[in-house]
């Protein structure tokens, strides 16, 4: 008989997780806004100079995008890219669709999505950091993008109506969420029937415990908050999503991988269906809040682990 999910608490409450992540990305936004090159931005900001920054490899950041895409965007949108993949390349966006980007940062994925969906489509970014929202709106204005919008909010409580978007994307953001189950439920809620999710994120080997993931980097540094492959699949299925596929693309640490995650909201989806799936599926040890390190621990910002 399947068991219910047993929450595992972090060493910090949810509001402190949000505060730590917000502070990190505010620092990155301010560094980018005052810099002309990636090297200069990195020198100004530890947030750009560690795990998720531009380090000269195709592990993190803007080098994961095609040269033509990077060249077509404002420099500050490219410099602010802190992700582990390129979700716009795998989401198969179509003319006229409405796309939602979770944790939109400086706006690189929103701007690329807006071009792919065309003037009859729309791209919406949600971010909780004022400095990133200001940077993204400035980048959109510089790019002349008229079919974009940036809203303030958390990805655990999206400021969007039910069944209002066709596609949900994100780039190395779900691992930063304090409550992954809430994120999956919100994705299912805002997607239209038949809508799809295509995100890039960090995923851990199933054998790694939350504590072992935390040893590999800080929560705000994209590593410690990662779900395992089984946890990710279970969480998406528990939200009522189907056609779930997780494809690792490259290693980002010992037992940690950047991955493409896809899922679909089926026709006839209801909250009652979601509740039924939550009790019927086998339950690996999925955590509500994954372990994270305190300020004295081994985090990306301290120069280790990553």
Dihedrals phi, psi of 83, to nearest 5 degrees: -85, 180
211 vs 14 pLDDT, higher one: 211
In a domain, 145, yes or no: yes
DSSP state of 55: -
In a domain, 241, yes or no: yes
In a domain, 262, yes or no: yes
Per-residue pLDDT tens for 14-58?
Answer: 676 666 666 666 666 656 555 444 444 444 444 444 444 444 444
Residue 27's Cα: distance from chain center in Å? 18
Closest alpha carbon to 241 in 261, 264, 260, 268:
264
What is the percent of the chain with per-residue pLDDT over 90, rounded to a whole number?
A: 37
Per-residue pLDDT tens for 174-183?
Answer: 988 888 899 9
Q: Is the pLDDT of residue 283 over 50?
A: no
In a domain, 4, yes or no: no
Q: What CATH number does the domain containing 155 carry?
A: 3.40.50.150
Number of Cα atoms under 13 Å in the Cβ half of residue 270: 4
In a domain, 184, yes or no: yes
In a domain, 1, yes or no: no
Per-residue pLDDT tens for 59-114?
Answer: 444 455 555 555 555 554 555 455 566 677 777 899 999 999 999 988 888 999 99
Per the structure, the count of domains in the chain is 1
In a domain, 3, yes or no: no
In a domain, 5, yes or no: no
Structural domain that includes position 104: 14-302
β-pairing, 191-204 vs 165-170, is parallel
């Amino acid at each position: 008989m399947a068991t219910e999910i047993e929450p595992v608490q972090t060493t910090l409450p949810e509001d402190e997780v949000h505060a730590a992540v917000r502070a990190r990305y505010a620092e990155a936004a301010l560094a980018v806004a005052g810099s002309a090159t990636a090297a200069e931005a990195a020198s100004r900001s530890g947030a750009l100079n560690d795990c998720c920054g531009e380090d000269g490899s195709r592990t993190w950041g803007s080098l994961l995008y095609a040269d033509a895409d990077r060249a077509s965007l404002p420099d500050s949108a490219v410099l602010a890219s802190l992700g582990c993949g390129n979700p716009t390349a795998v989401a198969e966006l179509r003319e006229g669709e409405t796309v939602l980007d979770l944790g939109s940062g400086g706006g690189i994925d929103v701007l690329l999505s807006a071009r792919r969906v065309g003037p009859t489509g729309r791209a919406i970014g949600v971010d909780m950091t004022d400095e990133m929202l200001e940077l993204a709106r400035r980048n959109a204005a510089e790019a002349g993008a008229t079919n974009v919008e940036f809203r303030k909010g958390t990805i655990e409580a999206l400021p969007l109506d039910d069944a209002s978007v066709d596609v949900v994307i994100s780039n190395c953001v779900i691992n930063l969420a304090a409550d992954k189950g809430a994120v999956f439920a919100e994705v299912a809620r805002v997607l239209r029937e038949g809508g799809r999710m295509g995100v890039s994120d960090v995923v851990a080997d199933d054998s790694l415990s939350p504590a072992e993931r935390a040893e590999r980097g800080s929560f705000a540094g994209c590593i410690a908050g990662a779900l395992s492959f089984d946890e990710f699949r279970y969480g998406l299925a528990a939200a009522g999503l189907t056609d779930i596929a997780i494809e690792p693309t490259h290693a980002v640490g010992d037992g940690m991988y950047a991955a493409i995650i896809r899922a679909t909201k089926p026709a006839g989806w209801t909250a009652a269906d979601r509740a039924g799936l939550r009790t019927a599926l086998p339950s690996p040890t999925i955590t509500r809040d994954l372990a994270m390190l305190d300020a004295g621990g081994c985090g990306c910002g301290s120069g280790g682990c990553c």
